[in-house]
Structure 1
Amino acid sequence: MQYYNKYLYQTMRILSIVILGQTLFFKYSGAKESVYIFQSLGMEPWGRIGTAILETVAILLLMFPNFVWLGAGIVINLMLGAILSHIVFLGIAVNGDGGLLFILAIIVFISSLYLGYCDFYKSPLLRIISKNR
């Protein structure tokens, strides 16, 4: 049984993949904005590269219907870290971007929450828990 709007679901999925994908270039290439952000957090270069690898894995998982729940879970955690980093350490606007990175993180976070909610019933962990009851 389908509990969600399939068009909204696919839109959120594509939106998350596109936004995450475009930021990967900057992280892998060592663009000055990415380097500045991770230096400010005291995580350059290992934090930048590690985040890029996790985002790459999440994008790949979001591309496969059976693993969207897992990709969404990874993205939720990554974006929560990004949002909190902006609020606590970096500020909303970084290097005069007008808060664009912060807004994109919120959009991807909300999209991933929706994807995770829609696919929660597919989770193998949920199946294991429900069988034990």
Structure 2
Amino acid sequence: MSRSRLFWALSWLAAGWIAWEFFYYSQFKLNGAEGSIEGVFLPLANWIGAPALEPQLRWGVVLLEIVAAALVLNQPTRLLGGLMTVGLMGGAIFLHVLGPIGIDPYGDGAMLFKEALFTLAMGVFLVVAHRSDLPRLVPRGAAA
């Protein structure tokens, strides 16, 4: 297998993982599943001192995840989706480690945390692999 075909295949696998991960967990956030509310978003809302904003926090996160999933599946916007993935998963990992959620909020061997780490790694891979697309995403004269 040539290097370009391997790159193409790995890029699609990483994008597929990210999209699957974000789309799969969107159902729990959108439906207001108890584990999503009680296990993650209500503790976060309480932590920032705004428990009444839990639904908006949850819906905002799911909206960003759906956008990131759509972007990584589209080759021309894969870099942007990868950057969003890095930001979302970096924030999630930060809040798991230093926030009120904890690394193993469901007592399942920290599966959610491990998936967040792997998804972050896939996002970093896409950013590095598609870094040459950055000039195309930034309008000319924007750096001036």
Q: Letter of the aligned partner of 1:110 in structure 2? A: A
TM-score, normalised relative to structure 2: 0.82
Equivalent position of 1:17 in the other structure? 19
Query: 2: distance between equivalents of 1:126 and 1:23?
Result: 31
1:41 aligns with 2:44: yes
Q: CA deviation at 1:8?
A: 1.6
Equivalent position of 2:102 in the other structure? 91
TM-score, normalised relative to structure 1: 0.88
What does the per-residue CA deviation read over 1:72-129, in whole Å, with 9 as the maximum and x for residues that have no partner?
Answer: 1111100001000100122110122320110111111000000011111112356747
Which of 80, 83, 99 in structure 2 is aligned with 1:70?
80
Query: 2: distance between equivalents of 1:9 and 1:32?
Result: 34
Stretches of 4+ aligned residues off by more than 3 angstroms: 125-129
- Alpha carbon RMSD of aligned pairs, Å? 2.3
Stretches of structure 2 lacking an aligned partner (at least 5 in a row): 46-52
Equivalent position of 1:80 in the other structure? 90
Query: 1: distance between equivalents of 2:76 and 2:137?
Result: 14
Matched position secondary structure for 1:96: coil
Which of 4, 7, 10 in structure 2 is aligned with 1:8?
10
Stretches of structure 1 lacking an aligned partner (at least 5 in a row): none
Q: CA deviation at 1:7?
A: 1.9
Equivalent position of 1:112 in the other structure? 123
Matched position secondary structure for 2:108: coil
Query: 2: distance between equivalents of 1:128 and 1:75?
Result: 25
User: Which piece of structure 1 moves more, 51-60 or 93-102?
Assistant: 93-102
Matched pairs, number? 131
Equivalent position of 1:122 in the other structure? 133
